[in-house]
Amino acid sequence: MTVLCLVELDGDAPADASLRALTFARTLASGGELAAVLFGVAGPELTQALAGYGVASAYVTGPELLAGYAPLAWARVLAGLAGQTGADAVLAAGTDHGSEVMAHLGALTGLPMAANCVSAGRAGDGSWQLARQRWAGQDGDERGRAK
């Protein structure tokens, strides 16, 4: 299983919310590959930090190709990478940017998008079982088809 995780940057380091998203994504990628997707400049310290969270590869779109935050463009990059890598799942932190990019990604691909998940796992036959935080913090289980 290949899992892509959008990593937002806070200066030259991964944002704290993205580190938590990587931890969540690592559990889904168990036995497969966890890959980070970044928009910005990735130095050696960043690469080392990502490796510490189980990231096997990182895809970086530098500012020379895409300057600043552009949610639809970021979603297009994620869609392309998901197709090229055969990713089974794409995740992002539940930040304003992460949620907006994932909504665009769902619209572009026609695949379901679930927000505010606190757990996720394969339920069989390409379906997923999700637990989402909603309604003032109450959890709810949902099932959906991944493909």
Distance, CA of 68 to chain centre: 18
Say if residue 98 is in the same domain as residue 141.
Answer: no
CA angle 29, 59, 27 (to 5 degrees): 15
| pLDDT in the model for residue 141 | 54
Say if residue 105 is in the same domain as residue 139.
Answer: no
Q: Please give the helix or strand (H or E) that residue 70 lies within, else none.
A: none
Say if residue 140 is in the same domain as residue 80.
Answer: no
The domain spanning residue 68 has which CATH number?
Answer: 3.40.50.620
Say if residue 105 is in the same domain as residue 124.
Answer: no
Say if residue 97 is in the same domain as residue 50.
Answer: yes
User: How many CA atoms within 13 Å lie on the side-chain side of 143?
Assistant: 6
Q: Are 61 and 77 in contact (CB under 8 A)?
A: yes
Task: Give the model's confidence band at 138: pLDDT under 50 very low, under 70 low, under 90 confident, else very high.
Answer: low
Q: Is 63 helix (H, G, I), strand (E, B) or coil?
A: coil
Range of the domain at 45: 2-113
Say if residue 52 is in the same domain as residue 91.
Answer: yes
- With b for 16 or more beta-carbon neighbours within 10 A and e for fewer, the 119-135 pattern comes to ebeeeeeeebebbbeee
Q: How many domains does the chain have?
A: 2
pLDDT tens-digit readout, 38-97: 999 888 889 899 999 999 999 999 888 888 899 999 999 999 999 999 999 999 999 999
Say if residue 6 is in the same domain as residue 50.
Answer: yes
Given a cut of 50, is residue 119 above it in pLDDT? Answer: yes
